[in-house]
Chains A and B, each alone.
Chain A
Amino acid sequence: MLSLLRPLAILAMLSVGSLANAGTIRLTDGTRIPGHATGYDEATEVLSWMGDDGQARELHLDKLDKRSTYSVLKSQVPRDKGEGQLQLANFTRDIELFAHAVRHYGYAEKADPSLKPEIDKQMAILRSMAAKWGMERAREAADKGDLKTAEKWLEKIIVKLPDEPEAAEAKRLIDNYYAKVKAEKTKEIDAHQDEVLVKGLAKAKKAYDSMLAKNKKGLQSKSGSAPVREWEAAAKHGKKALTEIDKFEKKHPEKYTELLGGYRKTVNQQIIEIYMHLANHYSTRSSYNKALDQVNQALAIDPKSTEALSMRNRIQDASSRGLGWWN
C-alpha cells in the first residue's frame, strides 16, 4: 500500500508545481501557447517556453504580442530598481498599456524619489497619449453609431484627464451624444399614455431632467470646484426624483410597482454615475478619503454596484501603496 502512495504523492506534488507556473504566451499572429517559461536570455531577447503539448520553443521577443512581451520584461525588473521600473514604465506606456504604466511610474518613484522630475515628464507624455487613445475609442464608437459607448469614453477623458486638450474637445463633443443617450433611458416614461402616471410623476421627471442637466454642466465646466458643485447638485436632484417616485407609489400602491421599480433603477444608476465622477475627480487630486466617501454613497444605493466596488478597490490600492492616480 505504502509503495503505491509514494509515487502518487510525488505525482501530486509535481502537478501542483506545474500548475503554479502555468500560463499562456501569445504570438503576434494571435496564436496562444499554454505552458510555462523555462528561461529568458536578456542578451539575445529569447524566451524559452515549454508548451503544455510537451514542445520546447525558443521565442524571440519580436514574435510575442505586446502583452506577452510586457509580461516577460516585467519579470526581469525588480520592483525596487527605480531606473529599471522607469524604463519598464516607458515601454509599457508606448505599447498603450496605460494603467500598467502608471503603476510602474509609481514603483519607480517609490524606489528612487530623485527620479521624480523625469517621471513627471514621462507621465505628462502618458496622459497626452492616453487622452488621444481614449478619443480614438470615442470616435470609433460614434462611427459605428454606438453613441452610448462614445459618450462613455468622452466622460472618461473629461474626468480622468481633465487638463488635456482632448478633455476640452470631449466637453464640446458631449453635446452631440448626451441628450440622445440619456433620452433613451426615459423613453418609456415619456411615451406613457397613462395620465395618472404622467401627471403623478411630473415632479420626479423634472427632478430627473435637472439631475441630467447638472451632470452635463459638471462634465462641461472648467476645472476647479465648479464640477463638484454641479455634480453635488445633480445628486440632490436625483434624490428628489426618488422621493417623488416614493410619494407617487404611496398614493397608488401595487398598481405600478414593477414600473416604478424600473424608474428607480434608472435614477439610481445615474446617481451612482455622478458619485463615480466625483470619486474620479477627488482621486486625480489624491484626495482619497473624499473619493471613498463618494464611493460609499454609491454603495449605499447599490451595494453590488460593480463600478463602485471597482472604484473602491482602486482607490484603496492607490492610497495604501502610496501610488499616484493619474495626475
Chain B
Amino acid sequence: MRTTLLLLSVALALTLASCESNKSNEPSSDVPCICGTDEAILDGCAHPLCLAGETNPDNPDCVCGRMEFDEEN
C-alpha cells in the first residue's frame, strides 16, 4: 500500500512538474509585436509569431516570416 502511494505521489509530482515546465516554455502571448521600431532593430521582436519565424499579419512592418508565393504562378 505504501509503495503504491509512493509511486502515485512520484507520478503526480512528475506530471505536475512537466505541466509547469511546458507552461513556462511557451512564449508569452502578452508581448506586443514591435517590428518596425528602432528597439526591434537591436533587441529583436519577442512576439510569439515573430519568434516562430512567421509574419504577424496585424503589423504591416513585420518581416519575420518568409514571403509566400501564389502556387498558381
Contacts and interface: CB of A to CB of B under 8 A. Distances in A.
Contact of A98 (B41, B57, B66, B67): B41
B13 to A, nearest CB: 20
A23 B55 contact: yes
A310 B70 contact: no
A204 B69 CA distance: 60
B36 to A, nearest CB: 8
B68 A313 contact: no
A314 B43 contact: yes
A314 B44 contact: yes
Contact of A309 (B31, B63, B67, B72): B31
Contacts of A21: 68-70
A67 interface: yes
Given A48-B73, A306-B31, A313-B51, A99 B44 contact: yes
A298 B47 CA distance: 19
Interface string B39-66: 0111111111001000101001101101
Interface of A: 20-24, 26, 32, 36-40, 48, 50, 67-68, 70-72, 74-75, 96-100, 102-103, 130, 133-134, 137, 156, 160, 304, 306, 309-314, 316-317, 320
11 contacts: A21-B68, A39-B69, A67-B63, A71-B63, A75-B68, A97-B63, A99-B43, A100-B44, A102-B44, A156-B42, A306-B32
